[in-house]
Amino acid sequence: MSATTPGAPPIPATPPPAPRPAPALASRGSRSVRGTLVTILLLSIVNAVALFAMFILVMQESWAVFGIAAAVTIALNVIYLRRGLLPAKYLAPGVLFLVVFQIFVVGYSGYIAFTNYGDGHNSTQQDAIDAIIQTAQKRVPDSPAYRVTILEQLGGYAFLVTDPDGDVLVGDEDSPLERVGNAELDGTGKAIALDGYTALGFSDLLGAQRDIADLSVPLSDDPNDGALRTPDGTNAYLYLADVVYDEQADSFTTLDGTVYRDGGEGAYVTDAGSELAPGWKIDVGFDNFVRAFTNDDIRGPLLGVTLWTFAFAVLSVATTFALGLFLAIVFNHPTMRGKKLYRVIMVLPYAFPGFLSALVFLGLFNQEFGFFNQVLLGGAPIPWLTDPWLAKFSVLFVNLWLGFPYMFLICTGALQSIPEELSEAARVDGAHPWAVFRLIKFPLLLVSVAPLLISSFAFNFNNFTLIFLLTGGGPRDIEAGIDAGATDILITLVYKVAFGEGTGRDYGLASAFAILIFFIVATISIVSFRRTKALEELN
């Protein structure tokens, strides 16, 4: 500020231009030709894809998805074409991906958690009935092969059968086989046409294969004699059904009188409890959640696995942060030489894909043939992955190796953003370097790094890749009822339940677990984020 000479009148200065309001700035920005062209290009690609998708959806008659796709496309166009709406322009892609990949996924898992979807309950009741009827048709052991021609009349199908004796019979779904005399025969004696019907050749069959394959023509009035079915349109065999479906009573009856009724749990059961496979998917309400907590087989290991999951996540974050921070401080020294080289080497573990690293470490840790035991330890047979506690250590060690570069990078960035004046002032005041770090640098560092620590905790809480590839859940506890190991975290337990390493796939129970994990992690994250606001007071 220049001092004015005393006594002189103040120099009238032109007032500084009023600050431009932000919306006006934004609209000025969108007037550039390049920006407009980019907007046109990107929006036209999005619109083209969306229109193509909507066309397919109309053909498939999925009206709900079509409506959603149309609404989203219109919304995107409005956001990017209208002037203003700047926050929406920034947030739209992120929110779209959040909804598709997070909110929809969580919602759908939640929906599945309330059903019994899994092995044996795969589809709808009608599909289950059709499958039971289909598999119940057993060929009568000494059934002769009847030559057959498919006949069509008024949209219904019939069989023109030449039995091995040369007799010609005709019948359809409702009328048993009866002899006819006026059928047209071909050179080999097979009946190939009949008055009043249209004979179908192989290419004519193609449009109605399902109907013809499902057609059962009774041999006689007695259903116990069986029925003729054709698997390939040219030969028919005699089949007897193991179970018969009664549509009115919605039940299946076997030949010896056992009745299977809808048991309310998504399967046909007898009074004694034996089931017909397959069943179907039904809503079971809170059953899966109740089972997660009350089934002894699951509840026993569940507590141990939960404790280990928390321990694993906390220790992973703590060790990677400690090592990353230590290295960041060491390499932050202004006069250190070769900093760039060291930084590149430090970041290499982060650059390798986690899958690759986990599998390589699996080989390195092999008790007899692994590099660590054979070369570094001179042949000591240390059971890195087969002893429960050593396996826990190995998993943490590999996670440390994989995770410290990330912490190193963010701590480097955060350290460089702390103004030097504060540390200098502290040193001038006579503070010990450790006190400088503890009282000034660390709190300021935590302000920027704390949210990343929380997200790292959430990531490691669900670090499926590492655990599954390195130990597969760890040395298995063979006393436990389910397949839970020493290094199993909640998410690998869910995977084993869902994909049936033990008892068949149970997506409903696995989704219930997944929702529970979601609540745990969400609660911890929300609480932690609230606490980090207190840190911002320091700044």
Partner 1 sequence: MKVTRSLLLTGALATSAALILGGCSPAEEDPGQSPDSAGSLIVWGDDRVEALQEVAEQFEADRGVTVEFVQKDFGAIRDDFITQAPTGNGPDIIVGAHDWLGKLVQNGVVAPLELGTAVDAFQEVAIAAMSYEGQTYGLPYSVENVALVRNTELAPDAPATFDDLIAAGTAAGTEYPFLVGLDPAASDPYHLYPLQASFGAPVFETTADGTYDADALALGGEGGEAFATQLAAWGAAGILNTNISGDIALEEFIAGKSPFYLTGPWNIPAIAEGGISYAVDPVPTAGGQPATPFVGVQGFFVSSQSENPIAANDFLVNYIGTEEVQTALYEVGGRAPALLTAFEAAQSDVDVAAFGAVGADGVPMPNVPAMDSVWSDWGSTQVAIINGQGDPVELWRTMVANIESSIAG
Number of shown-chain residues binding partner 1 (CB under 8 A): 73
Residue written as token pair 């509840």: 299
Nearer to partner 1, 280 or 408 (CB): 280
Residue 110 engages partner 1 in binding (rule: CB under 8 A):
no
Rg (CA), the chain: 37
Residue 464, helix vs strand vs coil: helix
Residue 465 engages partner 1 in binding (rule: CB under 8 A):
no
- Count of other CB atoms within 10 angstroms of residue 13: 6
In the complex, what is the shortest distance from the CB of residue 282 to partner 1, in angstroms, rounded to a whole number? 14
Residue 398 engages partner 1 in binding (rule: CB under 8 A):
no
Binding-residue pattern over the window 139 to 158 for partner 1, x denoting contact by CB under 8 A: x-----x-------------
In the complex, what is the shortest distance from the CB of residue 151 to partner 1, in angstroms, rounded to a whole number? 15
Residue written as token pair 């590492």: 466
Residue 505, helix vs strand vs coil: coil
Residue 134 engages partner 1 in binding (rule: CB under 8 A):
yes
Nearest residue to 250 (alpha-carbon basis) of 138, 134, 137, 128: 128
Instruction: Report the site for partner 1 in 346-385 (rule: CB under 8 A).
Output: 366-369, 385
Instruction: Report the site for partner 1 in 258-297 (rule: CB under 8 A).
Output: 277-278, 297
In the complex, what is the shortest distance from the CB of residue 242 to partner 1, in angstroms, rounded to a whole number? 8
Nearer to partner 1, 409 or 480 (CB): 480
Instruction: Please give the biggest Cα pair distance in the chain.
Output: 135
The enclosing H or E element of 138 equals strand 137-139
In the complex, what is the shortest distance from the CB of residue 246 to partner 1, in angstroms, rounded to a whole number? 19
Of the candidates 24, 63, 103, 127, which one interacts with partner 1 according to CB under 8 A?
127
d(CA 164, CA 66): 56
| Beta bridge partners of residue 178, listed in sequence order | 170
Q: What is the 3-state secondary structure (H, E, C) of 150-207?
A: EEEECCEEEEEEECCCCCEEEEECCCCCEECCCCEECCCCCEEECCCCEEECHHHHHH
Residue 522 engages partner 1 in binding (rule: CB under 8 A):
no
In the complex, what is the shortest distance from the CB of residue 480 to partner 1, in angstroms, rounded to a whole number? 9
Nearer to partner 1, 403 or 474 (CB): 474
Residue 125 engages partner 1 in binding (rule: CB under 8 A):
no
Contact status, residue 230 vs residue 212, Cβ threshold 8 Å = yes
- Count of other CB atoms within 10 angstroms of residue 212: 20
Nearer to partner 1, 345 or 375 (CB): 375
Contact status, residue 469 vs residue 492, Cβ threshold 8 Å = no
Nearer to partner 1, 265 or 271 (CB): 265
The pair phi, psi for residue 275, each rounded to 5°, is -105, 150
d(CA 121, CA 288): 14
Q: How many CA atoms lie within 13 A of 512 on its CB side?
A: 22
Nearer to partner 1, 115 or 412 (CB): 115
Nearer to partner 1, 305 or 453 (CB): 305
Residue 81 engages partner 1 in binding (rule: CB under 8 A):
yes
Instruction: Report the site for partner 1 in 400-439 (rule: CB under 8 A).
Output: none
Distances (CA, A) of 271 to 68, 120, 223, 325, 423: 46, 19, 26, 66, 80
Instruction: Report the site for partner 1 in 296-325 (rule: CB under 8 A).
Output: 297
In the complex, what is the shortest distance from the CB of residue 171 to partner 1, in angstroms, rounded to a whole number? 19
By residue count, the chain amounts to 539
Contact status, residue 519 vs residue 452, Cβ threshold 8 Å = no
In the complex, what is the shortest distance from the CB of residue 180 to partner 1, in angstroms, rounded to a whole number? 24
> What's the start-to-end Cα distance of the chain, in Å?
29
Instruction: Report the site for partner 1 in 12-71 (rule: CB under 8 A).
Output: 31, 36, 39-41, 43-45, 47-48, 51-52, 55-56, 59-60
Binding-residue pattern over the window 473 to 502 for partner 1, x denoting contact by CB under 8 A: --xx-xx-x-x---------------xxxx
In the complex, what is the shortest distance from the CB of residue 271 to partner 1, in angstroms, rounded to a whole number? 18
d(CA 412, CA 409): 5
In the complex, what is the shortest distance from the CB of residue 307 to partner 1, in angstroms, rounded to a whole number? 22
Nearer to partner 1, 38 or 522 (CB): 38
In the complex, what is the shortest distance from the CB of residue 471 to partner 1, in angstroms, rounded to a whole number? 7
The pair phi, psi for residue 273, each rounded to 5°, is 110, -5
Residue 112, helix vs strand vs coil: helix
Nearer to partner 1, 218 or 485 (CB): 485
In the complex, what is the shortest distance from the CB of residue 370 to partner 1, in angstroms, rounded to a whole number? 9
Binding-residue pattern over the window 217 to 236 for partner 1, x denoting contact by CB under 8 A: -------------xxxx-x-
Residue 471 engages partner 1 in binding (rule: CB under 8 A):
yes
In the complex, what is the shortest distance from the CB of residue 108 to partner 1, in angstroms, rounded to a whole number? 14
Nearer to partner 1, 102 or 235 (CB): 235
Distances (CA, A) of 17 to 13, 14, 27: 12, 9, 19
